[in-house]
Amino acid sequence: MTGSSRKVELSVLGIEGANAHWNLSVAALYEEAIRRGEGSLTADGPLVCNTAPHTGRSPNDKFVVKEASSEQNVDWGKVNRPIGAENFDRLEQRMLASLKGMDLFVQDCWAGADPAFRLPIRIITEKAWHNLFARTMFIREPNAEARLQHDPQFTVIDIPSFKADPVVDGTNSETCILLNFAKKRVLIGGSNYAGEIKKSIFTVMNYLLPLRDTMPMHCSANVGPDGDVALFFGLSGTGKTTLSSDSHRQLIGDDEHGWSAHGVFNFEGGCYAKMIKLSAEAEPQIYATTRRFGTVLENVVIDPDSRELDLDSAALTENTRGAYPLTFIDNAVPSGQAGHPTHVVMLTADAFGVLPPISRLSPEAAMYHFLSGYTAKVAGTERGVTEPKATFSTCFGAPFMVWDPNVYAKLLGERIATHRARVWLVNTGWTGGPYGVGSRMKIAHTRAMINAALSGALDHVGYDRDPIFNLQVPSSCPNVPAEVLRPRNTWKDQAAYDAQAKKLAQMFVDNFKTFEATASAAVKAAGPVV
């Protein structure tokens, strides 16, 4: 593509007079980011950037344009907040006008490893390191000639220096994340948090794929030596990335996937892992990425002299992050594709400390817990959240779901039934008491339970029904102490456990009232007993 044709492509978007840098390499983007004071080079090679004051997503600042082509499909509400097309156009004009004379960075990439569902996207950023983040997280075409044929079907324009005017624009604050399915465009302003780019495209895929009878999923995925695929559902901080990075299994992807008639495919070309208190012993593969050139670290504390990392520090936020190419994981699946899942693991970080660490779910219970999506928001993953907070996030990804939750639940249920996948609910949260009293579940114990489930070892043990949560809990598990499997036994005050468990059970029941009109009697009966 020539310089003049590139100017034309920007001009079509309304961008005039900007100095655009197209598809710069990792090294070149490092240089630009450091030269511009956007980040610091660490002793071992990663680039560290500070995103303050936005150290997580801004869900209250995300809007979807209400327009004719998508209006009837969108589940409007707190997640998909409507904004008028005229508001979008007015804000876009001001944003584009602000770009005159500005240096911009452009990356042409793809979302979706399966060629049948691959979405060509263009990411335009003000900051070099945001462009590096996009280059890392999305899929790059290795063939130079094929890259020249790139025809973007969605464009993200990410300008942290641009501030929205809530009075004029109808936004919630100066920060704005606006999605326009008709114009195939995303505008991000007022936030330094690079994760908004990734999550915006995830939202786009969540809208487009159901139109093609394909299930978009907020999950990680891996595959065993025998081709057995496992999915791991869960929100940030529940362990998706950690638990799917297993030296004995190949990683398909750590966060976002599709499940089509052909099998599972990754949306991304990179991983976006939590870094807080990362250890070489517990998470060796992810830890190794913090010592490599090409990794982008967000809000990780470094020594100003030695440039050594302090992964244990939460001085800036609990939500420290690392973005790195999928190829940095030794046993990643190069194609980003695999067959149909045989196991589905739903992860929750129970801040109350009362859910069993692993339970086997019936098909009806699977639908109940998928629709419920119980977990805990972990400190720093969203603005204003300073400690773990119990929440229900439908489909384990409500902030990114566009359609009514039942659309996604139906797609998942059909695939679980068709391919006879076993489903597990795994609590990676607290044991021995609630947050502040008990302790976080040991990663070693969680890994042992998941390994037992995937290997079939839990197919040959007895199960007991939890009388409150109505879950099937294994009587034993290799390499896990028996008392760990029964959270009540880990509490010093078992009466306090009973009270806390009943409190959470009632929260489940109250939350599920949203789905009572559409859920079957069998699904409703699979929930907790109060």
Task: Show me where the domains of the chain are located.
Answer: 3-38+58-212, 215-271+335-525, 275-328
Assign domain 275-328 one CATH number from 3.90.1170.30, 2.170.8.10, 1.10.287.70, 3.30.565.10.
Answer: 2.170.8.10
The per-residue DSSP string of 243-285 comes to HH--TTSEEEESSEEEEETTEEEES-SEEEEE-TT--TTT-HH
Q: What is each CA distance from 434 to 92, 439, 487, in whole angstroms?
A: 46, 8, 11
CA 456-458-460 angle, to 5 degrees, is 90
**Average pLDDT of each block of 10 consecutive residues along the chain (530 residues)?**
70 92 97 98 97 92 97 96 97 97 96 97 98 97 81 97 96 98 98 97 98 96 97 88 90 96 97 93 93 98 96 94 95 96 96 95 96 76 62 91 95 95 96 91 96 96 97 97 95 96 95 93 95
311 near 277, Cβ under 8 Å?
yes
Q: Is 291 a catalytic residue?
A: no
**Catalytic one of 155, 236, 245, 348:** 236
Output the pLDDT for position 247: 86
95 near 420, Cβ under 8 Å?
no
**Catalytic one of 127, 185, 199, 369:** 199
Q: Tell how far CA 267 is from the center of its chain.
A: 11
**Catalytic one of 62, 185, 198, 218:** 218
422 near 342, Cβ under 8 Å?
yes
Please list, in sequence order, all residues whose beta carbon lies within 8 angstroms of the beta carbon of residue 289, skipping any fewer than 6 positions away: 46, 271, 273, 295, 322, 324, 328, 329
H and E: helices and strands count for the chain: 15, 30
The number of residues in the chain equals 530
- pTM of the complete model beyond 0.85: yes
Q: Is 199 a catalytic residue?
A: yes
Output the pLDDT for position 148: 79
227 near 338, Cβ under 8 Å?
yes
Q: Which amino acid belongs to residue 501?
A: A
Output the pLDDT for position 179: 98
Output the pLDDT for position 379: 53
User: Whose CA is closest to 216, among 66, 58, 393, 395?
Assistant: 395
Rounded CA separation 373/396 (Å): 5
Output the pLDDT for position 383: 61
At how many degrees (to 10) do helices 26-35 and 128-137 cross?
150
**Catalytic one of 51, 125, 155, 241:** 241
Q: Does domain 3-38+58-212 bear CATH number 3.40.449.10?
A: yes
Question: Hey, CA dihedral for 261, 216, 127, 170, is it positive or negative?
Answer: positive
Q: 378: which DSSP letter?
A: P
Query: And the tokens for 314?
Result: 């939460």
For strand 472-474 and strand 463-465, is the pairing parallel, antiparallel, or unpaired?
A: antiparallel
Output the pLDDT for position 68: 97
96 near 124, Cβ under 8 Å?
no
For residue 112, the cross-strand partners are none
Residue 197 three-state SS = helix
Q: Is 321 a catalytic residue?
A: yes
Q: Is 419 a catalytic residue?
A: no
Output the pLDDT for position 241: 85
Span between the terminal Cα atoms of the chain, in Å:
64
**Catalytic one of 62, 127, 321, 445:** 321
Rounded CA separation 22/20 (Å): 6
Q: Is 100 a catalytic residue?
A: no
Output the pLDDT for position 380: 55
Output the pLDDT for position 375: 87
Q: Is 447 a catalytic residue?
A: no
**Catalytic one of 51, 54, 55, 57:** 57
Please list, in sequence order, all residues whose beta carbon lies within 8 angstroms of the beta carbon of residue 195, skipping any fewer than 6 positions away: 56, 57, 272, 298, 321
The top-level CATH class assigned to 215-271+335-525 is alpha beta
Q: Is 147 a catalytic residue?
A: no
User: Whose CA is closest to 416, among 246, 265, 250, 229?
Assistant: 229
Query: And the tokens for 165?
Result: 């005017």
